Amino acid sequence: MVEVTASATSQITEYFKDKEIAPIRIFLNEGGCGGPSIAMALDEQKTTDDVFEIDGFTYIVDKQFMEKAKPIKVDFLVNGFKLDCAIKFSSGCSSCGTAGSCCSD
């Protein structure tokens, strides 16, 4: 199951106001200093996806990932989109980009 809050739908509607509407993929983003997280990106639907039609938008999630992550909630807060799911992710590195950190250049 995917839940999209009214505030998230409002922001997505605003984004697509002058663009062609495309499916929105919810996926596991494994990189970055913050450790793994779930993210969203525009993408094409695949046969391995679960599809959710919500408020005029199509959300797609890989079926195997969905089994582990459900339920997924998409919200929009002051700082941007916030995606929550049943998976508990590690916190990643203690610092970003400093000498010796796991996220340094």
First to last CA, the chain: 38
- The residue with greater pLDDT, 94 or 86, is 86
Identify the pLDDT of residue 35.
Answer: 75
The band of 100, judged by pLDDT with boundaries at 50, 70 and 90, is very low
Q: pLDDT by residue (tens digit) across 14-34?
A: 999 999 999 999 999 887 677
> Domain segments of the chain: what residues?
2-84
> Which CATH number describes the domain made up of 2-84?
2.60.300.12
Structure-token pair, residue 56:
């005029």
Q: Is 26 exposed, middle or buried (0-12, 13-18, 19+ CB in 10 A)?
A: buried
For residue 37, what are the contacts with CB-CB under 8 A and spacing of at least 6? 28, 29, 83, 89
pLDDT over 80 at 63, yes or no: yes
Identify the pLDDT of residue 50.
Answer: 98
